[in-house]
Amino acid sequence: MDQVIIHRWDSVDYRDLIARIDAIGFDLDTTLAVSKQPMTDEMAKAFSSLTHRMPCAVVSGGKYGLFERQIIARIGDMAERENLHLMPTSGTRYYAWDGREWRCRYAHDLDPDDRRAAIESLTRHAKEMGLWLDDDQVSGERIEDRGSQITFSALGQMATPAAKEAWDPDRRKKNALAAAVARDLPQLTVRSGGSTSVDVVAKGIDKSYAIRRLSQLLDVPVERIGFVGDRMDPDGNDYPTAVAGAFAVRVNGPDDTLAMIRGMLDAMTVG
């Protein structure tokens, strides 16, 4: 395999970057926005401006409803919506603007039996490993059936970002859960998702799949696509985009992403 290169957002030459890429994708939580929270006004304006300059995609393990709250409600008609591509549940669903509304162009849902098996395995192993917390410690849904993805969130979907980061800082708990569930479900892909989550999807589905589908949709080679995310470590869910050959950029949070987008816009203006 070719060497996987991850670029730090603050070491990128933005004029060089915009010469290298024809499209760019972003992770959502802890990249474009705080986990489960809407984009800030500043991010919505900068991100919308970027959509007027090149095709932009958002790829996240989250469901489409989060895209509506975190992105669509914030950008309104500021963005060039025909240039925006929304890929929830790691690209197993794809939404594009048809001139009047956001329309689902494809959805690769799991077989009902596989969905039931995933829920059973996640529940059983989480309880066996002491990761099934009392109800008063959980905020929001603990296991969510997203159709094309089953997601276990140890603290619940709506737990605060601080609580999520504190719960499993070295990722050992959720990585161990993912490994146990993967042994039960060899026909599916089981992987660590966000900071407290484990995702179950169809075999071979991760963000490398999403970036390859984006390449096909835009007719742009993968190596001419950038991807920005906060989980670019080898066990992170953004790392597969780098393995696929995208120009991968690591950020530590939305503030970094905002500075990067502004840097790209400035470079485009100068260019």
What pTM, to 2 d.p., does this model score?
0.87
> Is 29 annotated as catalytic?
yes
According to the per-residue pLDDT averaged within each range, which of 60-69, 149-158, 248-257 is highest?
248-257
The dotted CATH code for 112-202 is 3.30.1240.20
pLDDT in tens, 96-149: 999 999 999 999 899 999 999 999 999 999 999 999 999 999 999 999 998 889
Query: What residues form the annotated binding site for alpha-D-mannose 1-phosphate?
Result: 146, 197, 199
Strand order across the beta sheet in which 93-97 lies:
6-8, 247-250, 225-229, 23-26, 56-59, 84-87, 93-97, 102-107
Mean pLDDT computed over every residue of the chain: 94
pLDDT recorded at residue 206: 87
As a whole-number percent, the residues of the chain with pLDDT over 70 amount to 99
Per domain, the residue ranges of the chain are 6-108+205-270, 112-202
Query: What residues form the annotated binding site for Mg(2+)?
Result: 27, 29, 230
Residue 73, pLDDT above cutoff 80: yes
Higher per-residue pLDDT: 48 or 92: 48
Select which of 10, 29, 134, 168 is catalytic: 29
- Banded pLDDT at 2 (limits 50, 70, 90): low
Q: Which CATH architecture has domain 6-108+205-270?
A: 3-Layer(aba) Sandwich (3.40)
Helix 41-51 with 254-270: angle, nearest 10 deg: 40
Task: Write the burial class of residue 76 (CB in 10 Å: 0-12 exposed, 13-18 middle, 19+ buried).
Answer: exposed
Query: Residues near 109 by Cβ (< 8 Å), separated by ≥ 6?
Result: 92, 147, 148
What's the token pair of residue 59? 């790829």
Q: Alpha helix locations (H) across 21-81?
A: 41-51, 64-67, 73-75
pLDDT recorded at residue 161: 85
Please compute the mean of the pLDDT values over residues 179-190 and round it to a whole number: 96
As a whole-number percent, the residues of the chain with pLDDT over 90 amount to 83
Select which of 10, 27, 111, 238 is catalytic: 27
